[in-house]
Amino acid sequence: MRNGPDLEDVPEAVRAEMTFHLASSVTDVLAAALEPVAAAGAAGAAAAA
């Protein structure tokens, strides 16, 4: 996670309002970005009702 130290360059006010997910692989990125299939299915069913 070589970009982690770069977060020190982001102003504190910005860091306080955002959530950062550091990733070392595309698998980490996908896990942080996408909902699990079961949760997405449940949300879709609730929206359709």
Judge whether residue 40 has pLDDT over 60: no
Q: Could you tell me which residue, 45 or 38, shows the higher pLDDT?
A: 38
Q: Give the pLDDT band of residue 24 (cuts 50, 70, 90).
A: very high
Structural domain including 26 reads: 4-48
Number of structural domains (the chain) is 1
**Long-range contacts of residues 19-24, Cβ cutoff 8 Å, at least 24 apart:** none
Q: Would you mind telling me the total number of residues written for the chain in this entry?
A: 49
Q: pTM of whole model > 0.75? A: no
Judge whether residue 42 has pLDDT over 70: no
Using only the alpha carbons of the chain, give its radius of gyration.
16
